[in-house]
A and B are shown apart, each in its own frame.
With several copies, the nearest count.
Chain A
Amino acid sequence: MLVHVTDRAIDPGNLAAAFYRHHPDAAVTTFSGFVRDFNDAGQVDSLYLECYLEMATRVLTDLGNGAAQRFGLRAWQIVHRYGHLQPSDPIVFVATSADHRGEAFAACEFVMDTLKTDAPFWKREHYGEIGQWVTVKDIDKDRRDRWSEKDSDQ
């Protein structure tokens, strides 16, 4: 499955193993993000990740297809968790394969940078009794915008 959005635990190790096995292309990159146990304010006990499921699947599918075209990928996969998570739980897994490592790396990073701000998920961090919605970080906007600038250069 190219895109999988799920409220069940995901296992990036198994996903990477399967991707490497099925796509021994010249250059294969994988990335996985895990729940932090800290943020700017201190300790994080748990995370709730809200999801607009139908839209998430659609956005991630468009994103993967767009990356495949832009970077000439041979294969790609995006898996995203939602629901209740604990620190060190995997949130997201992205894999890309290409004929050259520059394209595999760039596509993987492009997908991550774009889904951070364009895929309909919302993080709520909990510390003790306190819960707080995470706001978009400037660095995430900047990282997203890097790719748009490259678009307009072309």
Chain B
Amino acid sequence: MTITVKFFSLIREAVATEQLTLEISENLLTVEALKAELSLRGEAWEEALSHPNLIQAVNQRVVFQEEGIKDGDEVAFFPPMTGG
């Protein structure tokens, strides 16, 4: 299945990536599993994605990392928001 992954702010800088389009196996069922998979890309990835304040969103909604992923989903990783 195909998903889009986006990174913002500090996390974007740490992994030097704004957006990925990923072909992933059907076994990758949750955000948590996706994080583990992406962490294999190197130390910077592992560190950024294990940050205790990391926020994850699926299809533009903030979710717990146990949230499921399905084909076509948009997943995003970012630090706490500072709008307004």
User: Hey, which bits of chain A sit against chain B, CB under 8 A?
Assistant: 33, 49-50, 52, 54-56, 58-59, 80, 91-92, 112, 115-124, 133-136, 140
Contact = CB atoms under 8 A, between A and B. Distances in A.
Mostly helix, strand, loop or mixed at chain B's interface? mixed
B80 interface: yes
Contacts, number: 75
Interface in B67-84: 74, 76, 78-84
Contacts of A91: 84
Nearest to A54: B60
A24 to B, nearest CB: 15
B57 interface: yes
A135 B82 contact: yes
Contacts of B81: 116-122, 136
Contact of A121 (B10, B12, B62, B84): B84
Given A118-B81, A122-B79, A50 B9 contact: yes
B80 A55 contact: no
A122 B60 contact: no
A54 B59 CA distance: 9
Mostly helix, strand, loop or mixed at chain A's interface? mixed
Contact of A120 (B10, B12, B83): B83
Contact of A33 (B10, B76, B80, B84): B84
Contact of A115 (B61, B78, B80, B84): B84
A117 B62 CA distance: 12
Contact of A122 (B62, B76, B82): B82
Contacts of A123: 82-83
Interface string B23-42: 00000000000000000000
Interface in B1-22: 6, 8-10, 12
- Interface core residue of B10, B12, B78, B81 (most chain A CB under 10 Å): B81
A55 B76 CA distance: 10
